[in-house]
Structure 1
Amino acid sequence: MARQNVYLDHNAASPLRPEARTALLAALDLTGNPSSVHAHGRALRDTIETGRRQVAGLAGAEPRQVVFTGSATEAITQAIVGGAKMFAASTIAVSAGDHIAAPQAANATGLPVISIGLLPDGRIDLDQLAKILAEAEGNLLVCVHWVNNETGVVQPIGRISAMVGPTRHTLLVDAVQAFGKLPLDFAASAPDMMAISGHKIGAPSGIGALLVKGHADTVRLIPGGGQEQGRRGGTEAFALIAAFGAAAEAAGNDDWTRLQGLVDTLEAGLKTLAPDVVIFGAEAERVGSVVNFAIPGLKSATAMMALDLQGLSVSSGSACSSGKVSVSHVLLAMGVAPELAECALRVSFGWNSTEEDATAFLSALETILARQKRSGQAA
C-alpha cells in the first residue's frame, strides 16, 4: 500500500492558502522600506495597510486597532507584559486551559498569578472567576482563551465580558483558535485586547496581531523606531502581512458546515470502532473542526507513531512543547485521569480538508486497533 499524505493537524498550523501564496510572492517583488516616504516606500505602506484592512475585516475590528506582531505568542506577551505595566496591574488571572504563552508571560511580570479552573466539560469556571473579581485588590488583568486549541471547546466570552467589562479590570482574549471560525466583532465587544495568528488560517508562520482598543493603544513590548503607530517597533514584515491579509479575506468564505460534517463523520466512526472512546468536551459547545478523544489503552505516543508510518499527521494536543509528547495540561485541568490523558489524540480539520481525509484516518485507526487486539491476544 502506498504511503498516504493526510494532514489532520490544522489547529497547529494550517497549510498555506493559494491566495496567501500569491500575495506573498507579489509582495516579495517589491523593494524598499515601508517607513520611507519615496514611491517605493509608499507602495510597501499601501501593501501593509491593505493587509491591515483585510485582517480587521475578519476580526470585526477597525483597521487602526490591528497591531501586527511576529506571532500570537508575541501578541499575548505584549498584552500581558505591556498591559500589566500600562494598567498598573497588581495581579494577573489566567485560565487553566490557556495556551502556555499566557502563563509564561504572566510569570515573567513577577506579579502574583491566579489560575482560573476549568469545569469537567472544558469550560472556564465562571463561579471561580466571579470570586476572583470580587476579592481582587487593585487592578486585575484577566486573560482567557475563546476556543481551546486542544478540545475545541468554546468559552462563554459574552458572559465573561459581562463579568469583567463593567469592572475596573482589564480583559485579554486569546482568539487564535476563534479567528476565522467564529464571528468576531472586536470593535463592538468588551475585551480590551485580543490576540490572533496568521498560520492558523492559512497564512505563513511568523505573523500575528494584537487587537487593541483606544484606551490600550499604548500597550507596548518593543519600542523601536515608532512603527505600527509606535505600538510595535521594527520594520514591518510587509510580505507576511500581505499574505496574512489575503488569508483572512479567503477565510471569510470558508464553509464551516462542511467541516462540521467531517467532524460528525469522524466521531460516528470512532464510536463504531471503539465504543469506549471518550470525546473530550463533548458536552460543551465546540467549534466544528476538531475532535480530541482517547481510546483507553491506546497510548497517544504509540498511536501517533503508527499513524505517521501510514502517512497521517495528527497530534496529542498543543504543538508548542518543543516536539514533545506530554500529558495535556488542559485535560488535567478538566479533571481527566492522567492514564486516560496519556491516550489523547487531536484530529483537526481546515480549509483544504476532505471527506477522504476523515475516512483515511478511520481506516488507519481500524488497522492500529486490530493490530493491538491481535498483540493482546498473542500475549
Structure 2
Amino acid sequence: MFTVGHLAKLLDKGGFVGLFLADTFGPYDTYKGSAEPSVRIGAQWPLADPIIPVSAMAAVTKNLGFATTTSTSYEQAYVVAKRFSTLDHLTKGRFGWNIVTSWKESASKAVGLPLVEHDTHYSNADEYLWVLYKLWEGSWSDTALVEDAKKGIYCDYSQIRAIHHHGKFHVDAPFLTDPFPPTYSRAVPGRHISAIREGAIGAGRDPYSVKIFAMITPIIGKDEEDAKRKYEEALKYVLIEGGLAQFSATTGIDVSQFDLDHELTEEDVASHLQRTHSSLYNLRYQGDDVPKLTARNLGTVTAIGGNGAMPVGTAAQFADVFQEWVDIADVDGFNIGYVVTPGSFKDAVEYLVPELRSRGLLPEAIPEDEPAPTFREQIYGLGQKGLRSDHPYDTYEDTVAKEDAAKATTAEL
C-alpha cells in the first residue's frame, strides 16, 4: 500500500521544498444548493484532518517541509499556537501554516458558529495573528531555556512572561511550549503580483520577502504522445459535476442555473458573486483547455486540475512554462497539484525535477552529510531561522513588554 510516508519520502528524494495539505470543515453545497453532488462524486469528501499525518511524514524525511491549512475563525489562538509549536519541534522546524479565514456557510454550521462578513473575517484574522505572535515571540526570552541538570534548572522563570491580550480574543497566560529553535538571533498573475510587491514596499518590507506561488497541475510524459495519453486517460474518469461543485463553492456561483454549453459572461454571474474577489478573474480565463467559458469546460478542467493551470507536455515544455511564469509573472515557486497519486508525483520527480535542475531553476539535492534546513531557511536562505528583520512582528517583543506593563501590574504566572 502506498502511504503518506511513501509520498513524503518520494517528494523528499525529488527535491520538493514542501508538501501542502489542504483542509476544510464543510462540504461544497453551492452547486444546485446541495452537498449531494460533491458527496456522491467525492469532491473533497470525505476529508481527514491534515495535521495528524505531518509528524509521521516528518519522521521519515530530512528536508521536506509541511504546510497545512488551519482557519483563524474556528479555534482559539492559544490552542493553535501550542499545536503548531509542537509540530515545529517534531518536524525540526519544517512546519508551515496556510492561513485562511474560511468562507463556507457549511463550515460555519459544522462548528456551530455564525458566518461573519468578509471584512470582519480579515480584521479578526489580523488580531488572531497578533495574539499568536505574542505567544510565539513574546512569552519566552531567547535564553529562557536553561537545561542545566546540575543546578536543577530547566527554565529560567524570570525570563518567561505572561501574555495579556484582551479584544476579540482573550489570553492571560504564559505560552506553554518552548520555541523552536530554542535560541536564535533576530540579527492576471503578473499584475496582481506587482501589486503585492508594491504593497510590501509600502509597508516597509523587501518586496521579495513575500513569496508568491502559482497553482499548477502538470500532466507530464516522457514525450508528447505519452503526456497526451495520460491526459486522455484522465478525461475518461472525469465527472463534470464534481468539478462544477468545487468551482461553484470556491466562487460562490451556482453554475447549475446555466446550460452546460452556454458561454458564460461576467453579466451572467455578477449578481451571484458571494465569496471571493478573484471570481471575475477566474471567469476571464481562456486557453486550449477552456476554448469557451462554458460550465462543461470549467467542470472538466476543475475536475482534473482544480483551480490552477493544467498544461500537458514534456518536462522540457514544463520547464519552459515555469521559466516564463518566473520571468513574466514574477512568481517565486509553484504549488504542484496532482491528477493521480502517486503517479503525478513520480512523474514530477523522474522527469521534471532533473530538467529544472539542469536549467538552474531548482537547487541541487541537499547532501546527506549536511544538516537539514528548516522550512523557513528553504524559503529565505540558510541561517534565516527566525523572523526576517522586515517581518511585521519581528520588532514585537518590545511592543509586548510595553503592552504587558500597561495591562498588568505584575508578571506573576
Q: Which is greater in Rg?
A: 2
TM range (shorter): under 0.3
The one of the two structures with greater contact order (alpha-carbon pairs below 8 A, sep at least 6) is 1
Per the normalisation by structure 1, the TM-score is: 0.22
